[in-house]
Structure 1
Amino acid sequence: MEHQKIDELVARIKALESELETELHQEYERFTCEITKKREELLASYRHDRENLFRYLVTTPILHLLSAPVIWVVLFPAVILDLFVTLYQWICFPIYKIAKVKRQDYIIIDRHMLGYLNSIEKLNCLYCSYFNGLMGYISEIAARTEQYWCPIRHAKRMKSIHSRYQNFFEYGDSKNFRQGNRELRKELMEEKE
């Protein structure tokens, strides 16, 4: 009975996510049509709205400028983490027969093309797109790994859960874990890359 309620909630969440995705896609399509129709007008507007680089630097609070190196230095361990996690899935996922996670589904680099951003804003958008996309990519690799090796929910409530967590077994449910673990692994193996 409890599982039925959870399954119903998960189904409603998935339906809402699908509806949201449809709405976002329609908004994107409308925006694309608008760009096509009003390209020159839009480009002129972008040029007008772009903040001059000198003005941008002069009006930025000094503490923001001083904190920039702290933000950017995190890029080095992120790239190393990206390399190691990618190598991990290239080596281990074929052994476990798990479909590999596609980086391009998570790391989307496109905001730097917006004409209303100055070069520093574009660089910052590039950083955020990479870093946040990387976190999603790593989270999905970790989620697939967890589903394969340890698909058990935590006893405590989590602030954020990954895409596969709702299929995991209840904390302390040894019978279903032993009986259903093979099925969860089989689901992973049947997914396409």
Structure 2
Amino acid sequence: MNVEKINELLDRIERAENELYAELGRDAETIKCDFLKERIPLWRYIREGNPRYALSSPVIYAMILPAVVMDLSVTVYQAICFPLYDIPKVDRSEFIVFDRHRLEYLNALQKLNCLYCAYFNGLIAYVREIASKTEQFWCPIRHAEKVRGVHKRYWRFLRYGDGKDLKKRWMKLRNALKEEKEA
């Protein structure tokens, strides 16, 4: 395995992601919108909406309960365990961002939906980052099978079946977590 080549590719991906965020930030500055013309009044939004969507809303919004339980659970987990492992804590506010409700062209229901989606998707990203740091600490070994949608740390993990210098390389990955704390 060419570790240098993999690290070079991962660094390029990270630089490209940073460049993407910078470009999207510049693009956001150019957006102009006539808010009053774009907003769909709440009564019209509901009246013209698909009834099947309305019927599914109790199922969608019921998911908030397990989400809040998961949020509390992982927050307590990292508050207790990460200091014991000397892993830097994940800043929840970097993942769960509420800002779309300030968009003037959204009606009240659209804003509520945006708050829900921001919370739920941000929560999943927050939990994933906590889980990825935990995996890097306890089991930084890639799978034998192809896994879709892996987290950003995954490709730096040890290859499946490659036990050579296991403890040394495992400790190197643990130390990399500690270095994140210091950076």
TM-score class normalised by the smaller sequence: over 0.9
AA of the residue aligned to 2:106 = L
Tell me the distance in 2 between the aligned counterparts of 1:135 and 1:176.
Answer: 34
- Cross-structure match for 1:166: 155
Gaps in structure 1 of 5+ consecutive residues: 36-41
Partner of 2:20: 20
Report which stretch shifted further, 17-26 or 55-64. 17-26
Aligned match of 2:143: 154
Query: Contact between 1:46 and 1:116, CA under 8 Å: does it hold in 2?
Result: yes
Question: How far apart are the structure 1 equivalents of 2:109 and 2:53?
Answer: 13
Match of 2:42 among 45, 48, 53: 53
In structure 1, what is the equivalent of residue 80 of structure 2? 91
Q: Within the alignment, does 1:144 sit opposite 2:133 as a pair?
A: yes
Match of 1:70 in 2: 59
CA deviations on 1:58-105 (whole Å, 9 max, x unpaired) are 111111000001000001100010000000000000100100000000
Counterpart in 2 of 1:39?
none
The 10-residue stretch of structure 1 (63-72 or 183-192) with the greater mean CA deviation from structure 2:
183-192
Cα RMSD of the aligned pairs, angstroms, is: 1.6
State the percentage of identical aligned residues: 48
Moved more, 50-59 or 183-192: 183-192
Is residue 107–residue 134 contact of structure 1 (8 Å, CA) maintained in 2? yes
After TM superposition, the structure 1 stretch with the greater mean CA deviation from structure 2, 135-144 or 53-62, is: 53-62
SS state at 2:152 partner? coil
Distance in 1 between the 2:156 and 2:54 partners? Answer: 45
**Contiguous gaps of at least 5 residues in structure 2:** none
Shift of 1:175: 1.3
Question: How many Å separate the matches in 1 of 2:57 and 2:140?
Answer: 39
Deviation at 1:177, TM superposition (A): 2.6
Cα drift, residue 22 of structure 1 = 1.8
TM-score by length of 2: 0.93
Query: Structure 1 length normalisation: TM-score?
Result: 0.89
| Aligned-partner residue type, residue 10 of structure 2 | V
Structure 2 counterpart of 1:130 = 119
Q: Distance in 1 between matches of 2:86 and 2:63?
A: 33
1:105 aligns with 2:94: yes
Secondary structure of 2:181's aligned partner: coil
